[in-house]
Amino acid sequence: MSEQVAVPETVSTGQVPSRKVLLAAGAGHFVEWFDMGIYGTLSTVIAANFFAAGDPTAALLSTFAVFAAGFVIRPLGGLFFGPLADRIGRQRVLAIVVLTTSLATFAIGVLPTYHAVGALAPLLLVVARLVQGFAAGGETSSAVTVLYEYAPPNRRGFFSSFADTFGFAAFVFGSGLALLLTASFGDATMTSWAWRLPFLLALPLGLAGLYLRLKLQDTPEFRELEAKGEVTESPVRETFRTGGKAMLVLAGLVVIKGVAHWTLQTFMPSYLQTTLHFTKVQSFVASTVCLAVVAVAVPFAGALSDRIGRRPLLIAGTAGFVLLTWPSLLLMSLGNEFLAILGMVVLGLLIAAYDGAVSATMAELFPPRIRSGAIAIPYNIAVSLFGGTAPYIATWLISASGYRLSPAFYVMLTAAITLVTVLRVVRETAGPKARAVA
C-alpha cells in the first residue's frame, strides 16, 4: 500500500496576479537565472580563460567543478533565505537575492584570467560562484511562493509555472546572446574578451530586477498572516517539526528537475561542441531553439495541470525521460544539425511537461507559515547533489567509459527516482480527481 502525503489546507486569498506581480517575480527570476545560466553556456570559453592550457577535457572538468561549487553552498543559502522569507516576507528576500547574484555575476566579467594571474584566477572564480550560489538558494522558493500565493486556487499551476517560464526565457536570452556574440566576433575574439559582455550585462539587469521587486507588495497570504499575528517566529524549527515528511517528498520531486535543467542548459552546449564536434554556432543554435520551446511550452503545461491534475504531467515527464533520453542523444550523435535540434527539443518538451506541474505541487505540500523555507531547504539540497554535479558527472562518464551516449543513463536513473516518488507518495492536488476527493 503506497503512502500518501496529505496536502495542508491553505488560505484562499488568491487574486489573479497582476502584470506588476508577474514582472516583479518573473523578471527578477529571469535576471537570477540569466546570471546563473550564462556561466554554463560559456563553459568552454571559461575553461580556456581560467585554467591552464594543455588538456581541454581537464579544463572543462575543472570549469564544471567550479560550476558545482556554486551549488554546494546553495543549501546554506536556502536554509538562510527560505525561512527568512517566512519571517520577514517574500518580497524583501527576492530583492536581496537578485541584487547579490547580479553583483557576483558582474564580478566574473571583470576577473583576471589564468594567463594574467595564474592560479589566483580560478580561486577568484570560485569565490564569485559561491556568492552566486548562496543567493540563488533563496530565489526559486520565494519566487514560486509569490506566484502561487497571488494566484486563484483553480489557476495555481498556470501562474506558478511562470517561475520556470521566465527561467528558461533567461536561458534562451543567454544562449542567444552567446550565439550573437560568437557569430559577430568569431571564436577567437569571443575567447579573448567578448565572453565578458554577458557577465557585465548582469549588473544593469539586476538593478532593473531590484527596482521591480522593491515596488512589489507582499503576497495576500503573508499579509493575512501578519494581520492575524500568525507569522512564525522560529521558521527553521517549525519547518523541520511539522514539514519533515513533505520535505523528503519534495527532494525526490526535484531530483530530475535539477538534473534535466542543468544537463540541457549547461552540459549540452559543451557536449555538442567537444564530444559531437558541432561548431560553437551550431551548438548555440540548438540550445537556443530547444530552450525557447521549453519557455513557450511550460505555461501550457501549467494550465493543463490545473485542468487534469498535477500527477499526469509529473508522470509523463519522468517516464518520458526514462524512455526517450537515450534515443534523443542518439539523434544528436548522428552529426546532423536538424536531428541534434530535434533530440534536444524532445528532452525540452519533457522538461516543460514536468515543470508545468511541479512548482504548484511543491507549494501545495506546505501551509503558508512555513512554505518558503520548507521549499527552499530540500529543493536546494536536491539541486546541489544532483543538478549542480550533473554537467561534471556527464562529462566524466564520457571520459571514463569512452561511450558518447553514457550521460543518458544518468538522466534515466535520476528520472526513475523521481518517478517512483510521484507514483508512491504524491497525492493529486488539482484537477477532477482532487475535486472529487474534496
Q: Which domains does the chain carry?
A: 19-437 (1.20.1250.20)
Work out the number of other CB atoms within 10 angstroms of the CB of residue 280: 22
Higher pLDDT, 70 or 151: 151
Smallest CA-to-CA distance from 289 within 319, 303, 268 is with: 268
- Tens-digit pLDDT profile for residues 409-419: 999 999 999 99
Partner residues linked to 426 by β-bridges: 5
Locate 406 and state its grid cell: 553514457
pLDDT at 12: 42
Smallest CA-to-CA distance from 151 within 294, 30, 21, 313 is with: 21
Q: What is the spatial distance between Cα 351 and Cα 344, in angstroms, rounded to a whole number? A: 11
* Cβ contact 412:325 at 8 Å: yes
* Cβ contact 373:83 at 8 Å: yes
Q: What is the spatial distance between Cα 250 and Cα 126, in angstroms, rounded to a whole number? A: 29
- The average confidence (pLDDT) of the chain is 89
First to last CA, the chain: 21
pLDDT tops 90 at residue 16: no
Locate 82 and state its grid cell: 527560505
- Tens-digit pLDDT profile for residues 26-75: 877 888 788 777 887 788 888 889 988 777 778 888 888 887 888 889 99
User: What's the whole-model pTM score?
Assistant: 0.86
- Tens-digit pLDDT profile for residues 161-182: 999 999 889 888 988 898 899 8
